[in-house]
Amino acid sequence: MRNYTVFLKKEIFEYTKTYKLLIMLMVFAVFGITNPLMAKLLPEILGSLMADSISMSLPEATAFDAWTQFFKNATQMGLIVMTILFSSILSWELSKGTLIIMLTKGLSRTVVILSKYTCMVLVWTTSIALCFGLTYGYTVYLFPGDLTVNLLFSTFCLWLFGVFLLAVLLFAATLTKSNYGCLLITGTAIVVCMLVNIIPATHRYNPISLATDNLGLVTNSIEVSSLYCPILISCLLSLFLVVLSVLIFRKKQL
């Protein structure tokens, strides 16, 4: 347990020193600001592009448009950036051999996996909180009075999907030796989730619903209760994948 905090501290230190934390925060901060701005500017830009002769009334931008941007940017770009950044979480230490010394110093392999996962989740949580905060603040400033529902719950779903994605990533990292292999497995897993999602019956159980239903939640077109099942499944799957990663890594020949 004491080693867990020590190694977690080392991981956080490493993320600051290798600029990974900075990149995550900057990327999510930029998204956070861009979301409401794009929502506000898009109709105006479109309007200025159109010739004066064609008069067409564009719908007034609302807070909903800002949140559309938030859930699109954060889900797509944000998760991709995060996956790329964390893909070398184990391969870098294993290929360089830095972890060998730590392990021979009596660091348990379970602790390595758990603290690495914790650190990734911490960085992800901070990043999405920052992004959410900025989008929220600027949306309130730009579109005062507009109300949105289920905002926190919807963001929680997105956050949980990120946690699930990180568990997949961790599992992929213990299976392969290179970060490209890790990216490939993680990507494949997500594509499989998307393909399965084509069958409507599976939608209620698929973790990817957590990242696709966010807008529906905000517009109230999707019931909150319909997501309870994916939430439970994502939690269980994440837990299962982390435990499996620990078991695999404990038996891995280094």
Partner 1 sequence: MDLAILKEYLPFLIPLVAAQVALGITALVHVLRHPHYRFGNKVMWALIVMFVQIIGSVVYFAFGRGEE
Partner 2 sequence: MMGILEVNQLFKHFGNYEVLSGLDMDVPEHSIFGFVGQNGAGKTTTMKIVLGLLKPDSGSVTVCGEKVAYGETKTNRSIGFLPDVPEFYGYMRPLEYLKLCGEITGLTKARTKLKSEELLSLVGLKDEKKKISGFSRGMKQRLGIAQALLNEPKLLICDEPTSALDPIGRKEILDILLAVKGKTTVVFSTHILSDVERVCDRIAVLHKGRLTLHGTLSEIKERHRHNGFILEFGSLEEASLFENAEELRQPAISLSRSGNSVTALVADHNVGGHFLLSVLSQKQIVPLKFAAMEPTLESLFMEAVQ
**Contact set with partner 1 (CB under 8 A):** 18-20, 22-23, 26-27, 29-30, 33-34, 36-37, 40-41, 44, 48, 81, 84-85, 87-88, 96, 138, 141
Question: What does 37-92 look like in DSSP terms, one character per residue?
Answer: HHHHHHHHHHHHHS-TTS--PPPPP-HHHHHHHHHHHIIIIIHHHHHHHHTTTTHH
Stretch that binds partner 2, among 12-20, 47-55, 61-69, 122-130 (CB under 8 A): 12-20
Which residue in the set 1, 51, 53, 105 belongs to the binding site for partner 2 (CB under 8 A)? 105
Which residue in the set 58, 103, 149, 194 belongs to the binding site for partner 2 (CB under 8 A)? 103
Q: Measured between alpha carbons, how far is residue 167 from residues 29, 59, 97, 198, 210 in Å?
A: 24, 41, 23, 23, 15
Stretch that binds partner 2, among 68-76, 104-112, 121-129, 197-205 (CB under 8 A): 104-112
- Residue 204 or 250 with smaller CB distance to partner 2: 250
Length of the chain: 254
Q: How far apart are CA 171 and CA 130, in angstroms?
A: 27
Tokens of 174: 């213990």
In the list partner 1, partner 2, none, the entry touching 107 (Cβ below 5 to 8 angstroms by class) is partner 2
In the list partner 2, partner 1, none, the entry touching 48 (Cβ below 5 to 8 angstroms by class) is partner 1
